Amino acid sequence: MELFALSAAEMVRGIKEKDFSASEVFASCLSRIEALEPELSALLALTAGRGREEAARVDGMIARGGEPGPLAGVPVVLKDNMCLRGVPATCASRILEGWIPPYDAKAAELLAGAGAVFAGKANMDEFAMGSSTEFSAFHPTSNPWDTGRVPGGSSGGSAAAVAAGYVPLALGSDTGGSIRQPASYCGLYGLKPTYGLVSRWGLVAFASSLDQIGPFARTVEDLALLLSVIAAPDARDGTCSRRERPDYTAPLAASSLRGKRIAVVKELDAMRSSVDSEVRRVLENTLNLCRDEGAEIVEVSLPVSLEFGLPCYYILAPAEASSNLARFDGVRYGLSRREDSLLDLYFSTRGAGFGAEVKRRILTGTYVLSSGYYDAYYLTAQKVRSLMKAEFRKAFGRCDLIALPTAPTPAFKKSELVDDPVRMYLADVFTLPVNLAELPALSLNGGFTGGEKPLPVGVQFIAPQWGEPELLNAAAVLERRLGKAPIAPLGAAAEGGNSR
Amino acid sequence: MTSRYIPVIGLEIHVQLSTATKIFCPCSTDYIGAEPNTNVCPVCLGLPGSLPVLNKKAVELGVRAGLALSCTIRNHTVFHRKNYFYPDLPKAYQISQYDLPLAEGGEIYIPGDDGRPRRIRITRLHLEEDAGKLVHSAADGRLEGAAFSFVDYNRGGVPLAEIVSEPDITSPGEAREYVARIRQTVRYLGVSDGDMERGSLRVDANVSVKKTDAATGEVLCWGERTEIKNMNSLRAVERALEYEIRRQTAVLAEGGTLERETRHWNDGEGVTTSMRSKEAANDYRYFPDPDIPPIVVTEELLESTRNSLPELPWAKERRFGEEYGLPEADAAFMAESLPVALYFEECVKSGASPLRAANWIRTEVFRVMNEKGFSMDSFPVKPSALAELVSMVDGGKLSTTVAREVFAHLAGGRSLKDALAAAGASPGGLSAEDVEKMVEKVLTVNGDVVEEIRSGRDPKGKKIKFLAGLVMRDARGQADAAAVSGILERRLKEGR
Amino acid sequence: MTISEKDVRHVAGLARLRVEEQEIEPLVRHFEAILGHFAALSKAREEGRLNLDGVDPFLFSEREAPPLREDEPVRSAVRDDVLAAAPERKDSFFVVPRILEEE
């Protein structure tokens, strides 16, 4: 097997045992990237030189008998809304084109400390606002399973990179489903941690009370490895919990789901018509597997979350975004349309620098916070949010995990929804309540659609606050039945790439 | 019916807190004279991905000030974002507080225009971050007409406490007193150095005038209020309000109406001029800052802060009057600043009479301080040394004139012993025997005058006085005048 | 909850966002769609299916109190990079064009 196709855990072991070097691994990944990027366009920046240096450093350390970190030599990709010092971070926006962060995100620091090697920055929807990566100001990304389709969003580039075998691990960010939905569309494991588990220092903020950085991987072991590295306290983030993190690799040993109660959601039934039949089938199948493995299937009710989560999110997220994106004004960094007056500088820069979807959200957000509307919209949405939290808490009194589809459909076709943003918002109906409730959730590949070009279909598991071990436990058990996430077969390159 | 126009004044005072670092990041607050944009970091520059973390000391100082102003301290206090665009605001929002501020419902007493104490209620005290500084390219440094402006973020993020009063203030004089008292309080507490010139204490006023029936006091109409900015000294506060009240009264008296607006005080020309109605146009869209969970002010912090509060100036003033019998002016002077008050009380504890000590401090100590540029904290004469000196004068062992000379030597750094010697005085003062000897000497040397006195040729006692003066001169003022006179008279009578 | 063009223009002004004439109408429709979803919420309240009485919008007491920082200065290394990236600068200042009174 080609080195790029190994899991992160296998790479770490192999490098440590000197079966191959970190430089060889990186070279293999780089070839893979160079072969497929013209077709996929998953990346906004390729840090080949830096990656080679870092890989060489890992090799040097191993040769000297040093203690390699838990991710030593593993190439990783970061979503382009995360700061990596000296490397452009554009958030896929013209307003930050060319901006080079002078500091590292906490997650990047932790990855570097663990010995990971940075391969590049991934494409995304502009400022993480979108569900298809089509709102990137630069170019769309293709789904490795069907290049005529979207990879999902907003972390589409990160998902495509892992699904295509560029790298075994990537970081994305999830505000309303932006890790889980692309994971579903690309057939991967994707995890949104509990709000406050991973530091947001160095993550360009979209909606501060909803954003979380999280891992993409093709195996549960890799997912747990990456989560272990990034889930650490950080005194620079006031919302990052100081509680002790458990050992996330421990649940990997789980052998069954005996004693676990997995809940289906009552309201899903009434939504049958908006959920693709293949998605329903895969969910059903996955639940059967859970039953097989000893889980008890129960039922919970989440009426507020499923009926009102969407409007609540599309009031609160844009509100916070409108404030977070106000700093982009052409004065200190980024795009600057110099004109005669300050006012023109602001209007021109922001008018030219932001894409249509970002503008829509900034305007909506400004409106719902404005004088006269704050109570009717923002405050009301916050109350709905509180109800949703209570609703989930009550549900978890009766179960250990809640199972839902990740997305109502498999990956949709490019351009299909780009002109109907509100319809595109519906793609997040099952994911965004989780962000509003600040809970952790994982999407795993439950199966594929039938037909000529099979498409991955994800299944989502939601756990109570700090319940990542519970999620990893279930995923580990299911992985034994469903298998690891495969690398997408891609055209001619695939044939060459996957040969022994 | 005659009308009376009564001013209604509320003041907003911003004080920069005496912390070493900014409110949400560890950059230094020592920005005066620093090169632009040197005390900056991702947080106070608002770089994408940066996050705020609150300075513990800022909370402590805010609580301290709140308690000193008799406010109730909230135990869960929330920071809000105040959203607006301006180049000195890098995030395009200021992190401030809105409806759940740190402290509320306090009061402070100030001397009213009639000398009687007036209670001014304090609505709230809250914490917020300062903005950066703008320098304009126009020749006169003003914004109007400047083609460019230059931005320096060194000051951005410095912690501020905003203290808002109820509109209880009824005259420019009271306003001045209020500002002076708040300034004195924050200095006393070590919360801020409250320097209006250097910008660590800033005042904005909200002033309106109500038209009342002079006879019944019934309010006939409320004038619209204006905000006055740019008053950079106590005097400016008073003058600006005087002007504005006159202006508003004139408009109302003519039956006109006033606009709610912001006006700028021009100290040079002595007028307020209208700025654009900035406040009306700005919709700040306040919402709780999601990056900062509510701050918990613990019982422990409240207790320890309460216990560490110094006695406040007005309480000290009252006590100095009651305990030490100081007259009002002296009590006020001694209580004005904490270092002076401490110096004074040390003197008294070391044995000086309070009245004498107060007198000496007000005159000699302050004179030397001003001449030589000392501060009270760096003053070279220890309170115990001053106390000894003052007691010697009190006990008649030293005349005031010589004591002043001794003091000058003390201020020059000498010990009391050396200073006394330098002034020609003896440390222990003169014994009765010494005085006798001196009188003896003078009588011997001035035999002719003695003769004249003994023969009754000194009806007005002038010659005795002359002799006494000689003794006193020899004694370098250390002899007690009454004792010298007594000894002289005895010796003269004795005929020896 | 009907949005007018005037509302959209007003909000664009608040957000310092230039919107071209042809963008206004689509924006009005977008607003209507979003706020229309929200209208479902109001309807549910009227019908008694959603009760928000007495619901705490912020649940502040459930939040972990944030860490407070010790008051010790730390020098940041970003200064030179930041000034180098400034769109327009003069010596160590950032430069902005004419600030007109209408701000």
Nearest-CA distance B225 → chain A (Å): 21
Model pLDDT, residue A491:
60
What CATH fold (topology level) applies to the domain B432-494? Arc Repressor Mutant, subunit A (1.10.10)
Residue of C nearest to B34 (CA): C92
A373 at interface of B, judged by CB pairs closer than 8 A: no
A371 at interface of B, judged by CB pairs closer than 8 A: yes
ipTM for this model: 0.95
Model pLDDT, residue A494:
45
Interface subset of C 55-74, CB within 8 angstroms of A:
55-59, 64, 66-67, 69
Model pLDDT, residue A356:
95
Model pLDDT, residue B130:
98
d(CA A319, CA A191): 25
Put simply, the answer to whether C69 touches B19 (Cβ < 8 Å) is no
Model pLDDT, residue A69:
94
Local structure of residue B55 (DSSP, 8 states): B
Put simply, the answer to whether B41 touches C90 (Cβ < 8 Å) is no
- Summarised one tens digit per residue, pLDDT across range A240-277 is 999 999 999 999 999 999 999 999 999 999 999 999 99
Nearest-CA distance A106 → chain C (Å): 16
Put simply, the answer to whether B291 touches A208 (Cβ < 8 Å) is yes
Put simply, the answer to whether C82 touches B45 (Cβ < 8 Å) is yes
Put simply, the answer to whether B148 touches C98 (Cβ < 8 Å) is yes
Q: Say whether pLDDT at A3 is over 90.
A: yes
d(CA B236, CA B143): 21
Nearest-CA distance A343 → chain B (Å): 9
In a domain, C33, yes or no: yes
Model pLDDT, residue B478:
72
Q: Where are the domains of chain A?
A: 3-301+391-498
Of residues B52, B85, B90, nearest to A238 (C-beta): B52
Model pLDDT, residue A403:
98
Q: Label residue B144 by pLDDT band (50, 70, 90).
A: confident
| Neighboring chain C residues of A94 at a CB cutoff of 8 Å | none
A375 at interface of C, judged by CB pairs closer than 8 A: no
Q: Where are the domains of chain B?
A: 3-302, 311-422, 432-494
Model pLDDT, residue C101:
61
| Neighboring chain C residues of A367 at a CB cutoff of 8 Å | 3, 7, 11, 31
Model pLDDT, residue A500:
32
Class of domain A3-301+391-498: alpha beta
C18 at interface of B, judged by CB pairs closer than 8 A: no
Q: Say whether pLDDT at B278 is over 80.
A: no
Model pLDDT, residue A496:
43
Which segment of B106-110, B242-246, C2-6 scores lowest on mean pLDDT? C2-6
B282 half-sphere exposure, CB direction, 13 A CA radius:
17
Of residues A343, A362, A382, nearest to C57 (C-beta): A382
Put simply, the answer to whether C96 touches A343 (Cβ < 8 Å) is no
Q: Label residue B481 by pLDDT band (50, 70, 90).
A: confident
Give the residue, A33 or B370, on which the prediction is more confident.
Answer: A33
Of residues C17, C64, C96, nearest to A347 (C-beta): C17
Q: Label residue A123 by pLDDT band (50, 70, 90).
A: very high
Model pLDDT, residue B468:
87
Helix (H, G, I), strand (E, B) or coil at C30: helix
| Neighboring chain A residues of B293 at a CB cutoff of 8 Å | 238-239
Burial of B273 (0-12, 13-18, 19+ CB in 10 A): exposed
Model pLDDT, residue B377:
85
Model pLDDT, residue A499:
37
Catalytic residues of A: 79, 154, 178
Which segment of A99-108, B258-267, B389-398, B471-480 scores lowest on mean pLDDT? B471-480
Of residues C66, C69, C73, nearest to B293 (C-beta): C66
- Which of C10, C14, C16, C29 should one mutate to test binding to chain A, selecting the residue with the greatest count of A CBs within 10 A? C16
| Neighboring chain B residues of C74 at a CB cutoff of 8 Å | 21, 26-27, 41
A238 at interface of C, judged by CB pairs closer than 8 A: yes
Q: Are strands B271-274 and B287-288 parallel, antiparallel or unpaired?
A: unpaired
- Summarised one tens digit per residue, pLDDT across range B189-210 is 999 999 999 999 999 999 999 9
- In percent, the amount of chain B with pLDDT more than 70 equals 97
Chain-centroid distance of CA B360 in Å reads: 20
Interface subset of C 36-65, CB within 8 angstroms of B:
58, 60-61, 63-65
Of residues C60, C71, C78, nearest to B19 (C-beta): C71
Nearest-CA distance B82 → chain A (Å): 9
Q: Label residue A349 by pLDDT band (50, 70, 90).
A: very high
Of residues C14, C27, C33, nearest to A422 (C-beta): C33
* Residue-number span of the structural domain to which C42 is assigned: 5-46
Residue of C nearest to B277 (CA): C102
A206 at interface of B, judged by CB pairs closer than 8 A: no
Question: Any bridge partners for residue A117, and if so which?
Answer: A75
| Neighboring chain A residues of C66 at a CB cutoff of 8 Å | 238-239
Residue of B nearest to A333 (CA): B47
Model pLDDT, residue A493:
44
Average pLDDT rounded to a whole number, residues B390-407: 84
Q: Say whether pLDDT at B280 is over 60.
A: no
- Summarised one tens digit per residue, pLDDT across range B361-381 is 999 999 999 988 888 888 989
d(CA B242, CA B264): 14
d(CA A342, CA A331): 9
Nearest-CA distance A494 → chain B (Å): 37
Residue of A nearest to C88 (CA): A331
Q: What is the mean pLDDT of chain B?
A: 90
Put simply, the answer to whether C16 touches A347 (Cβ < 8 Å) is yes
Token couple for A227: 């989560």
Local structure of residue B363 (DSSP, 8 states): I
pTM for the model stands at 0.89
- In percent, the amount of chain B with pLDDT more than 90 equals 58
d(CA A249, CA B288): 37
Put simply, the answer to whether C71 touches B57 (Cβ < 8 Å) is yes
- Tell me phi and psi for residue C91, to 5 degrees: 50, -120
Q: CA nearest A333: which of A48, A43, A93? A: A93
Kindly report the CATH number assigned to the domain that includes residue C23.
Answer: 1.10.20
Interface subset of A 278-317, CB within 8 angstroms of C:
304, 307-308, 310-312, 314-315
Q: Say whether pLDDT at A454 is over 90.
A: yes
Put simply, the answer to whether C64 touches B293 (Cβ < 8 Å) is yes
Domain count, chain C: 1
Q: Say whether pLDDT at B424 is over 80.
A: no
Q: Say whether pLDDT at B147 is over 50.
A: yes
Model pLDDT, residue B402:
82
Put simply, the answer to whether C91 touches B36 (Cβ < 8 Å) is yes
Helix (H, G, I), strand (E, B) or coil at B342: helix
Average pLDDT rounded to a whole number, residues A85-107: 97
C83 at interface of A, judged by CB pairs closer than 8 A: no
Nearest-CA distance B120 → chain A (Å): 31
